[in-house]
């Protein structure tokens, strides 16, 4: 399955090319390169967020009604009603 490409992922190669493109206006480009480098560094740091692999098993069951609805945009009662209706069609394992 192909992953969704974000706008940032689409323009990232252009930032990298700009970072290494040196021309006549070295002072301006050096400042631009510093900005681009900091931008790329913050983007890459943001994309390496640690994951909680047991989120569904350990965290979600502890949500109260408000948190569940805030995260999933439906109430826990609606979730259980949908699960009951769809359970015959779900494959486990």
Work out the number of other CB atoms within 10 angstroms of the CB of residue 68: 19
- pTM, two decimals, is 0.43
Number of CB atoms found within 10 A of residue 72's CB: 13
> How high is the pLDDT of residue 27?
57
CB atoms within 10 A of CB 90: 7
Q: Domains of the chain: which residue ranges?
A: 7-46, 55-89
The pLDDT of residue 11? 67
Which residue matches tokens 């826990």?
76
pLDDT tens per residue across all 93 residues of the chain? 345 556 666 666 666 666 565 555 555 566 667 777 777 777 776 666 677 888 888 999 999 999 999 999 999 999 999 999 999 888 875
What confidence tens digit (pLDDT) does each residue in 24-38 have? 555 556 666 777 777
E-strand ranges in the chain read none
Q: How far apart are CA 61 and CA 53, in angstroms?
A: 14
């Amino acid at each position: 399955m192909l992953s969704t490409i974000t706008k940032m992922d689409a323009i990232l190669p252009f930032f990298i090319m700009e970072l290494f493109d040196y021309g006549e206006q070295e002072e301006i480009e050096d400042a631009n390169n510093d900005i681009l480098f900091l931008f790329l560094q913050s983007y890459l740091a943001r994309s390496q967020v640690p994951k909680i692999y047991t989120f569904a098993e350990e965290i979600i069951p502890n949500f109260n009604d408000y948190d569940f609805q805030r995260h999933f945009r439906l109430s826990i009662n609606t979730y259980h009603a949908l699960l009951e209706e769809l359970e015959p069609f779900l494959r486990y394992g």
